[in-house]
Amino acid sequence: MVKDFRNDGLGCKYERVSKPLIKEFIKKKEGFLKLTNWKQWSVVKKFAVVKLKKYTKKEVVKMKRALSVLCLLGLLLLSSCVTAFAGTDAEDILTSYLNAIVNQNVEEILAFVIDERYSSDDCDFQKEEYTHFLKEKKLIDYKITNMSQESPTLINFEAILTYDNGSIEKVPFVLRYDKSWKVIINANSLEKNYEVIQEGIQEPEANTSSSISVFAGTDAEDILTSYLNAIANQNVEEILTFVIDERYSSDDCDFQKEEYTHFLKEKKLIDYKITNMSQESPTLINFEAILTYDNGSIEKVPFVLRYDKSWKVIINANSLEKNYEVIQEGTQEPEANT
């Protein structure tokens, strides 16, 4: 073979085209072999460049596909990371909230909670009720046991709470995100997944129905109890401190006292029992009580208590229209010329 040291542009220093190149790039070999060597090299170069371009395009397509897959995986990983971070942040807030309850820090509790049972005007009342609750039953330990994320801004938790009276409860918590995570409380908070795991030891309260709530109901019931005690003791001045009687104007104070005094002489309350409570709102509670009088009469009487800085028994023209019942008629002596 005659060597030709001229560079052919493909790095081959031999004039004859090698068989591997012909096999790779040339389909019509008979016509190709009739060409001169330099034309053969030109044809090989042309086909080689074309094939190289095709190969490059395929690689670009493959690379694009690979990048698409990587981007998708990245988004999925990012989404899972965001979910994980959201859950962690929300759990931190719930932990801080429960710690505040353990420490009986009402101000700190309020910083972590949105309690939809109270309006913005009920802040003082909310603090008062929270303080009362913390005194009633002290949280001494807790364990967050479960988390499920409904959406990026709503996460459900469950926790096991242990109180100083020995009670253990499984309590659901809902945390919602709006600029920050907050524990959401409303009238339906304990309807789902709440469970009393172990009953606690609780001392019975005098004249207290077992159905009465330990929240606002207890404070309101204390006022009602004091009001009924004042009636039993026939202390008009004390009765007036617990009542708002809408049948009288502020100018009728003396007349109101006179009528109350007359009523107390007519029929003396000797015993009572508060039997039922239903809370219409944080500031309005309905009670029922069984009242026994010295003439033998027994009545079931409804009471409405409303909160405005303090709980008051509300009396008006419609007070006895609902749920009032005479259980037993009393013996009544006729009055002369009456």
pLDDT digits (tens, 9 = 90+) for 231-268: 999 999 999 999 999 999 888 889 999 999 998 988 89
The pLDDT of residue 63 is: 61
The pLDDT of residue 59 is: 65
Instruction: Confirm whether pTM is higher than 0.75.
Output: no
The pLDDT of residue 229 is: 95
Report the alpha-carbon distance of residue 247 to residue 126 in Å, rounded: 30
Roughly what angle, to the nearest 10 degrees, separates helices 123-136 and 216-232?
A: 90
Please report, to the nearest 10 degrees, the dihedral formed by the alpha carbons of residues 98, 100, 105, 110 taken in order: -80
* Residues 174/189, Cβ–Cβ less than 8 Å: yes
The pLDDT of residue 12 is: 45
- Which contacts (CB < 8 Å, 24+ apart) does range 96-105 have? 97/183, 98/139, 98/142, 98/144, 98/159, 98/161, 101/134, 101/139, 102/139, 102/140, 102/141, 102/142, 104/134, 104/138
Tally of CB atoms within 10 A around 80: 10
In the chain the domains, ranked by start, together with CATH numbers, are 86-198 (3.10.450.50), 216-328 (3.10.450.50)
The pLDDT of residue 46 is: 76
Tally of CB atoms within 10 A around 115: 18
Q: What is the pLDDT along the chain (338 residues), one digit of tens a residue?
A: 444 444 444 444 445 767 777 777 677 666 777 677 667 777 777 777 776 666 565 665 666 666 565 555 555 554 544 444 556 789 999 999 999 999 999 999 999 999 988 888 888 888 888 888 888 889 999 999 999 998 989 999 999 999 998 889 999 999 999 889 999 998 787 778 889 999 887 654 433 333 334 345 578 899 999 999 999 999 999 999 999 999 998 888 899 999 999 989 888 999 999 999 888 887 889 999 999 999 999 999 999 999 877 899 999 888 877 889 999 998 865 454 44
Report the alpha-carbon distance of residue 230 to residue 232 in Å, rounded: 5
Report the alpha-carbon distance of residue 54 to residue 31 in Å, rounded: 24
The pLDDT of residue 35 is: 73
Tally of CB atoms within 10 A around 190: 13
pLDDT digits (tens, 9 = 90+) for 21-72: 777 767 766 677 767 766 777 777 777 777 666 656 566 566 666 656 555 5
